[in-house]
A and B are shown apart, each in its own frame.
Chain A
């Protein structure tokens, strides 16, 4: 079954988007990217080191023939910094894609909704395909959609926490009301978390630490790939109704019965 994810003018053949951070080595990262089946990977934007400005950069280790690069504005605390970061990323990578991330709190890394909305409005007006990381707030997600964001990316749990889907209710409400793709971004810790998120009906997952911080990142990347596919299929298949008591699967008629002695 072909199951294409459409984000703005982009068509993705995988519903798993993966990061480039925290891997033990660039070689492991490359192998994990391949094992994940992802067609889009995130990168961050930072100042070059003036004491060591040359040498290989991350981009030398990304298979850009087969992978779309999604730059992020991670680390920004204001709309102004996020907009400049996005503009620099566009010049660097020749892409209009931007994962908008404006942080409001250094401990939880929860997003600042007001700054995110401000930055989203400016970036949409400048022609960016904006994918905002945001709290699991249905109202703010709707506002971002109305501003023209190409998707909304509510968190499942804090970035790097691996806690899984902490509030399935809000994720489900966001998905039911959204007209743009809903991508759960942050909080997935293992394959079952990924399947649970996809079973809620969301369109895709974005994860970094869940793969990169596993004992075997390449194997976890493969597990996440299967979990996303399985969760998506289960959502479409429609789960059975839950029951309090058992309901036998084998016929209860024509049973063998020995006489009691």
Chain B
């Protein structure tokens, strides 16, 4: 299946959860937040929330700004 991660198309195994995705990317669990199809995925739901074909995933962090 294919999903857009931060605007980049990525091929992912079926059944990939948000937690799996973060591990695949090498991303930390803290210091980030995730949205799936423009809805925030709560941290507690990473292990159970599955990425589906065609999903749009945003993974964000805090950066310097004013």
- B32's partner among A85, A92, A159 (CB-CB below 8 A) is A92
A74 to B63, CA, bound (A): 11
Write out the residue numbers on chain A whose beta carbons fall within 8 Å of the beta carbon of B7: 47
Verify if B58 is at the interface (C-beta below 8 Å from A): yes
- Choose the segment among B11-19, B21-29, B47-55 that binds chain A (4+ C-beta atoms closer than 8 Å): B21-29
Residue with the greatest number of chain A CB neighbours at <10 A, chosen from B25, B32, B35, B60 = B60
Interface size on B, residues (CB 8 A): 26
Shortest A20–chain B CB gap in Å is 4
- B65's partner among A59, A74, A93 (CB-CB below 8 A) is A74
Chain A residues 26-74 with CB under 8 Å of chain B are 29, 42-48, 50, 53-54, 57-60, 69, 71-72, 74
Indicate the size class of the contact surface on chain A: 35 or more
- Contact across chains for A59 and B58 when beta carbons are under 8 A apart: no
Write out the residue numbers on chain A whose beta carbons fall within 8 Å of the beta carbon of B5: 50
Shortest A80–chain B CB gap in Å is 8
Write out the residue numbers on chain B whose beta carbons fall within 8 Å of the beta carbon of A160: 66
- Contact across chains for A72 and B26 when beta carbons are under 8 A apart: no
Number of A-B contacts (CB under 8 A): 111
Verify if A208 is at the interface (C-beta below 8 Å from B): yes
Write out the residue numbers on chain B whose beta carbons fall within 8 Å of the beta carbon of A47: 6-7, 58-61
Closest residue on chain B to residue A160 by CB atoms: B66
Write out the residue numbers on chain A whose beta carbons fall within 8 Å of the beta carbon of B61: 45-48, 57-59, 92
- B62's partner among A22, A29, A84, A92 (CB-CB below 8 A) is A92
Known: A48-B27, A50-B6, A53-B28. A88 touches B33 (CB 8 A): yes
Closest residue on chain B to residue A45 by CB atoms: B60
- Contact across chains for B62 and A58 when beta carbons are under 8 A apart: yes
Shortest B33–chain A CB gap in Å is 4
- Contact across chains for A72 and B43 when beta carbons are under 8 A apart: no
- Contact across chains for A48 and B62 when beta carbons are under 8 A apart: no
Q: Can you give 22 A-B contacts (C-beta < 8 A)?
A: A20-B64, A20-B65, A43-B63, A44-B62, A45-B63, A47-B58, A48-B32, A48-B61, A50-B5, A53-B25, A53-B27, A53-B28, A54-B26, A57-B63, A58-B62, A84-B38, A84-B58, A87-B35, A88-B35, A159-B66, A207-B66, A209-B66
